[in-house]
Structure 1
Amino acid sequence: MSYSHLNQPLVVANVHNLVMDILANIISFNEIMDKLNGWYYPFMNHLNSDLIYSQAVVAFFSSTQAVVGDTYPENVIWDHDKTQRFINMLSCYRNDIENERNAFTYQESQNKIRLHGYVNNMITHYSRLLFIRIDLKYAQETSHLVSLEDFYCHMNKLRELIGKTKGCFEHLQGNAWALEQGGISGGLHCHLLLMYDGSKRQNDWHIAKEVGEKWKAITGGLGEYYSYHDPKRKQKYKQYGKLGIGMIHRDNPQEVENAVASALYLTKPNKNEQQLKLWLPNMRTFGHGVYRTSKRRGLPPISK
């Protein structure tokens, strides 16, 4: 089996998932041995001491090193004995992995509270807001060309453009974003929420397309996007009374409820499998705009 397509985030995600499967006892011994022989060398080849890894990945590294010692990664063959010793070693890290999972769930619950308050303030302040929901990611066939550092750089460029509120971000009044990594594919992606002044902007499908095309430009053509604003998709949600994107009116309780629910998808505490498996020091994985600013009309002056 060829693993040449595995880049830094993908191989780390595979290693993370392997450890979780072993601890959950849902993978056969032979499959573990096969994956060790496929993923150990690429993982060691991509290892970067400047990055922070999930506890499952740390457990993988520590356990494999305890077994193979100073042997060069390209010379390691995972036979029955080495694989069994590796599995036995992993149990030592079970508590660390569980503690990290609990910490992630708690942090997501705090993010949810913050986002809920922010979105409610925005809806209360404006008579109508145009809600845009879009997922920014990378094309599957070229995702192996994207490193975590690339993703971080692309997101910084995007946030800079959002802050300037020009072009496709003109009349933008609020935003929120969450960085995640696919549980199976390991793909890095961003869930993005944009809230525009509904008296200035109306065409949500067109704006979502503009933002998506801007992301593709930022990534040099490596990026792609998923828009929730396809008319057929919106109509389906509308039929069930669940449409929470597009024009949201403050005096329509159902629209407001749906919009809040759509926004809070960015912070679901039970999405453990979507958490990043590696990150840069001080790298934020969630954020939203500031409600109380001197530029927002109708608010009392901010005391100094």
Structure 2
Amino acid sequence: MPYSHLNQPLVVANVHSLVTDILANTISFNETMDKLNGLYDPFMNHINTELFYSQPALAFLSSTQAIVGDTYPKNVIWDHDKTKCFIKMLSCYKNDIERERITFSYQESQNQKQLEDYVHNLTNHYSRLLFIRIDLKYAKETSHHVSIEGFDCHMRKFRELISNKKTCFEYLQGNAWALEQGGIEGGLHCHLLLIYDGSQKQRDRYLAREVGEKWKMMTGGLGEYYSYHDAETKQQYEQYGKLGIGMIHRDNPREVENAVTSALYLTKPSKHEQQLKLWVPNMRTFGRGIYRTPKRRGLSPIAK
């Protein structure tokens, strides 16, 4: 498999997966050797000391450096003996990797509790709300142009647009988002939840498309999106009694329950394989709106 075309996030995602596969004993020795020879040079060329990396990626860096030292990456050949030594050294980092996984799951469970309370507060406050679920990502053919710094920049700008509540974000009453990264594919993406005043917005399919096109435009055509609001997808959810997007009425407990369940997909503690494998300093991976604000009608004044 050629690795020279992989960009920074994709290389790190592949390295992360290689290390976790080795420790889980789900990859053969020969495949490990092949991947080492394919990934080591591009990984070293993409290393940036100003970024943070996942524990598996750090374990890869420390183990390989201990074996080959300062040898120029292009000159390193991972033969049988070097590969065997690498696999053995990785076991030293197993506890650090497991600790990171536990920390991630705990943080996700905390995010989940906050998001559940947030959505319940909104559905209790408004008689009807329009729930929009959309995934923001990048086209496969252009993803190699996107760095983690570029993704962070795009997301910061997009969150600013959401906060301004103009154009397709007008009448927005709530929102939540979660940044993730795939495994081998390494695709950077954002799960986005937008909650609109149901008395002002009704056309969820049209609105989801507007939001997605806004993302594509803001990323200069690099981005693409997946909408959950086409008729076929919604019909499938409705068939199983699990439709939690579109118009949600406060006096319909099933709709509210489904909406909460749909929202909580953003924060699943079991999705540790979807965590970011590298990130910039102070990069947020989850966020939600604030329920109790001075602008929200019908709430008691905020105590000072």
Same fold (TM over 0.5): yes
Instruction: Supply the AA of the counterpart residue of 1:106.
Output: Y
TM alignment of 1:176-255, pairs within 5 A = 176-255=176-255
Q: Does 1:36 align with 2:26?
A: no
For residue 294 of structure 2, give the secondary structure of its aligned residue in structure 1: coil
CA distance in 2, matches of 1:276, 1:79: 30
> What is the CA distance between 1:184 and its match in structure 2?
2.7
Unaligned runs of 5+ in 2: none
| Structure 2 residue aligned with 1:50 | 50
1:71 is the counterpart of 2:54: no
The sequence identity of aligned pairs, in percent, is 76
Structure-to-structure mapping, 1:256-275, within 5 angstroms = 256-275=256-275
Shift of 1:142: 1.0
Distance in 2 of aligned mates of 1:136 and 1:28: 35
| Alpha-carbon distance between aligned partners in 2 of 1:265 and 1:3, rounded to the nearest angstrom | 32
Deviates more, 1:216-225 or 1:1-10: 1-10
**Aligned partner of residue 200 in structure 1, secondary structure:** coil
Q: Could you tell me how far apart the structure 1 residues matched to 2:218 and 2:156 are?
A: 10
Letter matched to residue 88 of structure 2: N
CA distance in 1, matches of 2:209, 2:299: 32
SS in 1 for 2:284: coil
Alignment-derived partner of residue 115 in structure 1: 115
Task: Quote the offset at 1:81 in angstroms.
Answer: 0.9
d(CA) in 2 for partners of 1:3, 1:238: 42
Provide the C-alpha distance between the structure 1 equivalents of 2:159 and 2:21, rounded to a whole number of angstroms. 36
Correspondences of 1:270-281 after superposition (within 5 Å): 270-281=270-281
Separation in structure 1 between the aligned mates of residue 130 and residue 149 of structure 2, nearest angstrom: 32
One-letter amino acid matched to 2:276: L
Query: Which 5+ residue runs of structure 1 have no aligned equivalent?
Result: none
Q: Is the 8 A contact 2:10 2:184 kept in 1?
A: no
Q: What letter corresponds to residue 265 of structure 1 in structure 2?
A: Y
Question: What is the CA–CA distance in structure 1 between the aligned matches of 2:40 and 2:229, rounded to whole Å?
Answer: 42
1:100-141 CA-to-partner distances (Å, cap 9, x unmatched) read: 000000000000000000000010110000000000000011
SS class of match (1:174): strand
> Aligned to 1:189, what secondary structure does the other structure show?
strand
TM-score normalised over the length of structure 1: 0.99
Partners of 2:2 and 2:233 in 1: CA distance: 38
Question: What's the offset of the Cα at 1:4?
Answer: 2.4
1:238, CA displacement in angstroms? Answer: 1.1
Q: Hey, what does 1:160 align to over in structure 2? A: 160
Deviation sequence 1:1-40 (CA, Å, 0-9, x none): 4322200000000000000000011111111110010000
Counterpart CA distance in 2 for 1:137 and 1:91 is 34
Q: How many positions carry a matched residue from both structures? A: 304
Structural mapping, 1:16-31, within 5 Å: 16-31=16-31
1:281 Cα offset (Å) = 1.3
* Deviation beyond 6 Å, 4+ runs, structure 1: none
Tell me the secondary structure at the aligned position of residue 130 of structure 1: strand
Question: Any idea what SS the aligned residue of 1:103 has?
Answer: helix
